[in-house]
Structure 1
Amino acid sequence: MKTLLLIRHAKSSWNDPNTDDFDRPLNKRGKDNAPEMAQRLLDKGVVPELIIASPAKRTRTTAKLMADVWHYPKQAILLEDELYLCYASTFLKVITKIDDDFNTIAIFAHNPGITDFANYLTEEIRIDNVPTAGVFAIQANTDSWQEFDRAKKSFLFFDYPRKD
């Protein structure tokens, strides 16, 4: 079994309109929400063995803040250029390159691609939006990430900071 955590970056700052999108930092709420969501995953017993993130500043920072909670070494976070503002299909390209020794992975990325990909993965659940710091988790009945797309998948959970 393979478990995939799709995690949208936490809330970013729009304080400086001159900041390039790629370089936007997290705002205070984002800096608070990221560790909160990591702790929720830890409480569920779901901790990634591999973290892959878009190289955008807000995404890297979210991954690092969550990695701290999981005691995951920040230098081991893989930055994948293709994940920056990517389409849903790009996630599959990234996933099929993952070593099968990893059973639980987290991919940190952006909307709209992350929401589109979450909806692609299952017919059970349809979501309008993965909010900032939101986590969509799915399990695939396979031992190989190369077979992930064709494997039977089960929805695990969808969680986000302001969920009731």
Structure 2
Amino acid sequence: MRLILMRHAKSDWADAKLSDHERPLNDRGRRDAPRIAGWIQDNGCRPDFLLSSDSKRTRETAAFLNSRWEAPVPTCFSSDLYLATASSIFQTIRTTEKWLSDEDGLPEEHPQTLLVLGHNPGISAAASELLDHACGFPTAGLAVFECQISSWSAELGPENCQVWKEMRPKQLP
């Protein structure tokens, strides 16, 4: 199974009246999200299911990802992932099955490739735990892990998840 941990694209801080949860993407974010989606598609990493924070910037990032892929990926937005810790992110992954159903076009089967879209510091901390060393994700940065598990309910760690690739927008042509 494959896990993609990704940080949302760059957000806009121009409107001080907006809450953190309501901040949209800025121009760079709107440019980088489709580019990283193209890399995901071109490298055979398109997910079967996308779990995302419910903030405006993650919703917009998810929309840009889905707009670039050959077909939209079933997506669920959860407040559990908004500014989540690594521990909360892993708990949400372990409960992936609760998001799956035959309603709203969501898959009934376990996704083979799961993309989790979130925020720092939690998303970088979760990747650091799987990498077994510290890493930091810039906006729209991601890591793809090959996980030797049979279900998303399994505990994830460096013993059963190996990084396949890390990508940042600045690395893209």
TM over 0.5: yes
The structural deviation recorded for 1:122 is 2.2
Alignment match, 1:118: 127
Identical counterparts, % of pairs: 32
8 Å contact from structure 2 (residues 49, 115) kept in 1: yes
Q: How many residues are aligned here? A: 160
Alignment match, 1:70: 69
Alignment match, 2:93: 95
- Which residues of structure 2 form unaligned runs of 5+? 98-108
Spell out structure 1 runs of 4+ moving beyond 6 A: none
The residue correspondences of 1:6-17 to structure 2 (distance < 5 A) are: 6-17=5-16
8 Å contact from structure 2 (residues 50, 76) kept in 1: yes
The structural deviation recorded for 1:85 is 0.4
Alignment match, 2:2: 3
Q: 1:103 and 1:95 mapped to 2: Cα distance? A: 13
Amino acid at match of 2:96: I
- Match of 2:144, SS state, is strand
Does residue 1:146 correspond to 2:145, yes or no?
A: no
Alignment match, 2:18: 19
- Match of 1:147, SS state, is coil
TM score, norm. by length of structure 1: 0.91
Alignment match, 1:79: 77
Deviations along 1:80-125, one digit per CA (max 9) or x if unpaired, are 11100011001111111123621101111000000111001122x5
Q: 1:158 and 1:93 mapped to 2: Cα distance? A: 23
Alignment match, 2:60: 61
Q: 2:24 and 2:56 mapped to 1: Cα distance? A: 6
TM score, norm. by length of structure 2: 0.87
Amino acid at match of 2:89: F
Alignment match, 2:114: 105
Deviations along 1:3-58, one digit per CA (max 9) or x if unpaired, are 11111100000111111100000001100100000001111111000011100000
8 Å contact from structure 1 (residues 140, 148) kept in 2: no
Deviations along 1:52-91, one digit per CA (max 9) or x if unpaired, are 11000000100110011114437x3101111000110011
- Match of 2:59, SS state, is helix
